Amino acid sequence: MKKVFNFNQQIKHFSAMFDQRTYKTFQAVIDGIAKLRNWTQADLACLSEKTLRQIQYFFDKAKWSCQKLNEFRLRFVRNKADFRDRKSDFVALDGSTMKKDSDANFGNLVGYMYSNKDKTTVNGFHLYGASIQTKTGRKYILDFMLFFKEKWLSEFDAWISFATKVAEKSKAWIIVLDRGFRNRSLMDHIYHKLKRMFLVRLNATQHVICKGRKKSKSIKNFLSDKNVVQLEKGKIWVIENVVIKAWKEVFKESVTVIVYHGNGFKNPMVICVSQAEMTVKEAIFFVQMYFRRWKIEQLFKELKSYFCFEKFKVLSLEAIKKYLYVAILVHSLFVAKEAEIENIPILKQVISCILKAKRNIVDITAIGLKLVLEMLSFDTSLKSIMSLLQK
For the stretch 114-130, pLDDT in tens is 666 667 666 666 778 88
pLDDT of residue 76: 84
pLDDT of residue 359: 45
Percent of the chain residues past pLDDT 70, beyond the cut: 66
More confident residue, 39 or 14: 14
**Average pLDDT, stretch 250-262?**
93
**Average pLDDT, stretch 80-97?**
73
The 8 Å CB, 24+ separation contacts for 375-382 are: 375/341, 375/344, 376/3, 377/3, 377/4, 377/5, 377/6, 378/3, 378/5, 378/337, 378/338, 378/341, 379/2, 379/3, 379/4, 379/38, 380/338, 381/341
Per DSSP, which regions of the chain are E strands? 90-99, 111-115, 120-133, 139-146, 174-177, 197-202, 207-210, 216-218, 229-231, 234-244, 255-262, 269-273
Q: pLDDT band for 18, please (50, 70, 90 cuts).
A: confident
CB 287 within 8 A of CB 271: yes
For 133-180, the DSSP string reads: E-TTS-EEEEEEEE--TTTSSSHHHHHHHHHHHHHHH---SEEEE-GG
Cross-strand pairs, 128: 95, 145
First-last CA distance in the chain: 32
Q: Is 15 helix (H, G, I), strand (E, B) or coil?
A: helix
pLDDT of residue 104: 47
For 91, 106, 145, 164, the CA distances from 133, given in Å and listed in that order, are 7, 32, 19, 18
More confident residue, 112 or 173: 173
Looking at the domain 81-303, which fold is it?
A: Transposase Inhibitor Protein From Tn5; Chain A, domain 1 (3.90.350)
pLDDT of residue 151: 77
Model confidence at 257: pLDDT above 90: yes
Model confidence at 84: pLDDT above 80: no
More confident residue, 27 or 347: 27
Range in 138-152, 200-214, 294-308, 374-388 with the lowest mean pLDDT: 374-388
**Average pLDDT, stretch 128-149?**
80
Domain map (residue ranges) of the chain: 7-69+323-343, 81-303, 345-389
Instruction: Give dist(CA 293, CA 275) in Å, integer.
Output: 19
pLDDT of residue 223: 86
Question: Each residue of 25-67: pLDDT tens digit?
Answer: 888 878 777 765 555 556 556 666 766 677 777 887 888 888 8
pLDDT of residue 344: 62
Question: Each residue of 187-205: pLDDT tens digit?
Answer: 999 999 999 999 999 998 9
Range in 52-66, 99-113, 307-321 with the lowest mean pLDDT: 99-113
Instruction: Give dist(CA 133, CA 83) in Å, integer.
Output: 9
> Which amino acid type is present at position 35?
K
Question: At CA 294, angle to CA 195 and CA 162, rounded to 5?
Answer: 45
For 331-387, the DSSP string reads: HHHHHHHHHHHHT-HHHHHHHHHHHTT---HHHHHHHHHHHHHHHTT-TTHHHHHHH
Q: Of 128-142, 143-157, 262-276, 368-382, which has the strongest mean pLDDT? A: 262-276
